[in-house]
Structure 1
Amino acid sequence: MSQTVDRALTILPLLAEGPANLEQVAARLGVHKSTALRLLRTLHAHGMVYRQQDQRYRLGARLFALAQQAFESLDVREIAHPHLVALNERCGHTVHLAVYEDGEVVYIDKVESRYPVRMYSRIGKPVAITVAAVAKLLLADLPDAERRAVAERLDYPAYTARSTPNAAAFLRELTVVRDRGWATDFGGHEESINCVGAPIRGADGRVVAACSLSAPNVVVSADELLALLPALRGTAEAISAEFSGKPAKPAR
């Protein structure tokens, strides 16, 4: 990287801490004020920084617009898919990816199990929101008031004897899920199907999607599926890192 580009990029995180004057910028860069001024003028011309009336500089609106545009262009499914395929190849079970949109939790990707017993879930199909592991993860991350409002307006079908019975029980479970960072559905929707899920987070730490491993009892027990949780969480963390642009954590 050229010295000029390196210095210009150093200015941006400095101003992210708050407005700074020319002397402060020059001191941080370790350069003469004339050099710092030249860099600031170039960044100002491109809308990356803005000079206030008190002569201090702050980050410019153009920089925020570009960041928002870049974020909106991100496709979590496109980023996640290779990771989901790798997880499927590693463990053999069905892998799902889901998001929360317009009051529903919807599958947006699925990698089929290698085993002959298949699941009936489909991409684009809403999940059973009161029992599905991915739904619990997505709703658990909502602000308290919104989470409670959603829980109280849902119906609670008794899919099985293990289904969530009411809003109070659902809210208690969402609190547990939020605190521990993963979720399960052990026979809550279908007696014979078990599922574990993990959250995918954006740059702000909020949950933007959730991925899960699902398998029938005839293939693996609930305990055997739960033993794959570290691999699932590692996959979710790798997707989160790529989606948010943060360094990935070391592999587990």
Structure 2
Amino acid sequence: MSQTVDRALSILPLLARGPADLGQVAASLGVHKSTALRLLRTLHEHGLVHRQRDQRYRLGARLFALAQEAAENLDVREIAHPHLVALGEQCGHTVHLAVMEDHEVLYIDKVESRYPVRMYSRIGKPVALTVAAVAKVLVADLPEAERRALADRLDFPLYTPRSVPNAAAFLKELATVREQGWATDLGGHEESINCVGAPVRGADGRAVAAMSVSAPNVVVSADELLTLLPLLCRTADAISREYSGGPPHPGSALPAPQKVNP
């Protein structure tokens, strides 16, 4: 990278910590004030830096506009798909990717299992909000007021004896999901199907999508499926880092294998 470009880019993280005057910028870069001024003027011309009335510099509005535009044009499905395929090849089970839109959770990608048994799920289909692991992950990430409002207006169909029965139980499980960073559906929608889910996070730490691994009991038990949690969480974290361009999320610590309560 050219020295001039390197110096100019070094100004941006400095100003991200707060406004700075010419002397502070020059000292941070280790250059003469005239050099720092030339760099600041160039950034100012492009709207990346703004000079305040007190002659200090701060980040410009154009920088935020570019960041917002880039975020809006990121396609989480496109980024996630190779990771979903790799996970499917490693574990052999069905892998899903889902997002929340208008308090509805939809599948946006699916990698089929390698065995003949197929799950009845398809891209674009809404999931069972009160039981699906991907739904629990996404709803748990909502602010508390939104979680409670959503729970209050949901019906709680008893698909199986393991389905979440009411709003109180749903909110309690969401609190657990929020704390541990992953969710399960162990026979809650279909008695023969178990599922584990984890969030894909954006640069702000919020869940932008959720992914899951699902398998029928005839292939693996619930306990065996839960041993895949570390692999699932590593994959979700890899997608998150690629999507956000940042380091692993602080909440992405790998869980220990779990055991189903009898």
Report the TM range for the smaller structure's normalisation: over 0.9
What amino acid maps onto 1:104 in structure 2? Answer: E
CA contact (8 A) 1:196 1:213 kept: yes
Please report how far the alpha carbon of residue 102 of structure 1 lies from its aligned counterpart in structure 2 after TM superposition.
1.1
Q: Does residue 1:42 correspond to 2:42, yes or no?
A: yes
CA contact (8 A) 1:92 1:113 kept: yes
What amino acid maps onto 2:231 in structure 1? Answer: A
Unmatched segments (≥5 aa) in structure 1 = none
Distance 1:154 1:239 in 2: 31
Distance 1:241 1:32 in 2: 37
Distance 2:168 2:58 in 1: 47
Distance 2:172 2:229 in 1: 22
Q: Does residue 1:244 correspond to 2:244, yes or no?
A: yes
Please report how far the alpha carbon of residue 248 of structure 1 lies from its aligned counterpart in structure 2 after TM superposition.
5.8
Q: Aligned ranges for residues 5-24 of structure 1 at < 5 Å?
A: 5-24=5-24
Q: Aligned ranges for residues 1-252 of structure 1 at < 5 Å?
A: 1-247=1-247
Distance 2:28 2:240 in 1: 32
Distance 1:8 1:117 in 2: 57
What amino acid maps onto 1:170 in structure 2? Answer: F
**Secondary structure in 2 aligned to 1:147?**
helix
Q: Residues 248 and 144 (structure 1 numbering): CA distance in 2 closer, same or farther, change over 3 Å?
A: closer
Please report how far the alpha carbon of residue 223 of structure 1 lies from its aligned counterpart in structure 2 after TM superposition.
0.5
Distance 2:204 2:188 in 1: 31
**Secondary structure in 1 aligned to 2:204?**
coil
Deviations 1:78-118 (A, max 9, x none): 00000000000001000000001012000000000001110
Deviations 1:53-92 (A, max 9, x none): 0000000011000000000000000000000000000010
Unmatched segments (≥5 aa) in structure 2 = 255-262
2:260 matched residue in structure 1: none
**Secondary structure in 1 aligned to 2:198?**
strand
What amino acid maps onto 1:55 in structure 2? Answer: Q
**TM (normalized to structure 1)?**
0.98
Deviations 1:231-252 (A, max 9, x none): 1111000000000001469xx8
Q: Percent identity?
A: 81
What amino acid maps onto 1:24 in structure 2? Answer: Q
**Secondary structure in 2 aligned to 1:160?**
coil
What amino acid maps onto 1:105 in structure 2? Answer: V
Distance 2:79 2:135 in 1: 20
Deviations 1:14-44 (A, max 9, x none): 0000000000000000000000000000000
**Secondary structure in 2 aligned to 1:50?**
strand
Distance 2:181 2:127 in 1: 20
Q: Runs of 4+ in structure 1 displaced over 3 angstroms?
A: none
Distance 2:236 2:103 in 1: 23
